[in-house]
Amino acid sequence: MQTPTVSFIRANSYEPEVLRDSLATLLEPFGGMAAFVKPGNRVLLKPNLLTGARPGKECTTRSQLVYVVAQMVIEAGGKPFLGDSPAFGSARGVAIANGYQQILEELNLPIIDFHGVRYQTVSQEFNHLLLCKEAMEADVVINLPKVKSHVQLVLTLGVKNLFGCVPGKMKAWWHMEAGKDANRFGEMLVETARTINPNLTILDGVIGHEGNGPSGGEPRCLGILGASPDVFALDRAMVEILNVPATEVPTVAASMRLGVCPNLNAIHYPYLDPQSLRIDDWRLPDKFVPIDFGMPRLIKSTFKHLYIKFIKEPLSAYVRG
């Protein structure tokens, strides 16, 4: 196995010019954005667009980060587009609620909802996964997760963010199909990430979201940006920074069992290593919700999804004030 590289730097600002310098430094060990994006490439930017209900609570990837990454993709000759499959509502509606409208207009950046196609995987347990064709058919996938605590999965980082490439209602189905077993659910998320195989993951830890995440917690300044072509190595290093045992995070534990997660000591850190960034008081959830949230909640969630997507958003998210 080739030695994976994980780049961590200190970063304390979302101001675009400062952030641009930070990202240039972050990606320098890999050869910059041009090492990932070639002229004419269609580049999916996959932020965390969880919800439009709590803007300002740092539940989603910051629009400024997406803006600067999109600029860098364009300068490398790529054609960026945004995509996600939010828990509730459309990708565009959630993005606009979180301040993305200006960047969508300024960069003429398309934003799409995902549509599913079954793709064969190398796993016998999950030999066919319903994944979005937009991610699978993109020339380049840049994964843009947020550092967050999670009431079901302890932490949500790069691997979990790719669950957004599972179209809409299929997420709820997986909660029912695999949710009774946290190990199996974690393995499904790992197989999803392995199948999508993002070219680059940039982890937004300038301000994270701790406590009862993914949406019910509170912002927490971390001052960290991380990046790697290896999403499993990046997640493994980040849980070390947050001082959370890797075996307690289902996605990281599953990646270790399945042999896709490198040993922590085998990772190359060109700048800062996890020990130098260690945080001893990161707040995990004070309550945990079962991954299998059952039929009543599934029905309620489905109706809420349909209400927001087809009734509420056309009346609000798309109307400019």
Whether residue 2 lies inside any domain: the answer is no
Structure tokens belonging to residue 134: 């937009």
User: How many domains is the chain built from?
Assistant: 1
Whether residue 320 lies inside any domain: the answer is no
> By the 8 A CB rule, do 174 and 181 touch?
no
Check which CATH number belongs to the domain holding 36 and give it.
3.40.50.11440
Cα 54 off chain centre by: 17
Whether residue 1 lies inside any domain: the answer is no
Q: In the block, which residue shows the tokens 């949230």?
A: 293
User: How does DSSP assign 142-205, residue by residue?
Assistant: EEE-EEEEETTTEEE-HHHHGGGGS-HHHHHHHHHHHTT-HHHHHHHHHHHHHHH--SEEEEEE
The boundaries of the domain holding residue 81 are 7-315
Report how far residue 126's alpha carbon sits from residue 140's, in angstroms, rounded to the nearest whole number: 24
* pLDDT at residue 88 in the model: 72
* pLDDT at residue 291 in the model: 75
Q: Please work out, in degrees rounded to the nearest 5, the angle formed at the alpha carbon of residue 72 by the alpha carbons of 68 and 76.
A: 170
Name the phi and psi angles at 182, rounded to 5.
-60, -35
pLDDT in tens, 46-64: 999 987 777 778 999 999 9
**SS3 label, residue 208:** strand
Report how far residue 233's alpha carbon sits from residue 245's, in angstroms, rounded to the nearest whole number: 15
Whether residue 321 lies inside any domain: the answer is no
Whether residue 305 lies inside any domain: the answer is yes
What does the DSSP 8-state code read for residue 84? E
Strand partners, 220: 208
Q: 111-113 and 79-84: which strand pairing?
A: parallel
What does the DSSP 8-state code read for residue 268? B
> By the 8 A CB rule, do 130 and 157 touch?
no
* pLDDT at residue 290 in the model: 79
Q: In the block, which residue shows the tokens 């800062």?
A: 272
pLDDT in tens, 278-319: 999 999 999 878 776 555 554 554 444 444 444 444 433 333
**SS3 label, residue 255:** helix
Widest CA span in the chain: 53
Whether residue 248 lies inside any domain: the answer is yes
Report how far residue 267's alpha carbon sits from residue 240's, in angstroms, rounded to the nearest whole number: 12
Q: Please work out, in degrees rounded to the nearest 5, the angle formed at the alpha carbon of residue 198 by the alpha carbons of 241 and 221.
A: 30
Whole-prediction pTM: 0.89
The number of C-alpha atoms within 13 Å of 200 and in the hemisphere containing its C-beta is 26
Average pLDDT by consecutive 10-residue portion of the chain (321 residues)? 91 98 98 98 95 81 97 98 85 92 96 78 68 92 97 95 81 61 89 94 97 94 98 98 97 96 96 97 90 55 46 37 28
Structure tokens belonging to residue 24: 């240039």
Whether residue 29 lies inside any domain: the answer is yes
Whether residue 222 lies inside any domain: the answer is yes
The number of C-alpha atoms within 13 Å of 193 and in the hemisphere containing its C-beta is 31
* pLDDT at residue 170 in the model: 64
**Residue in 194, 252, 250, 198 with CA at minimum distance from that of residue 227:** 198
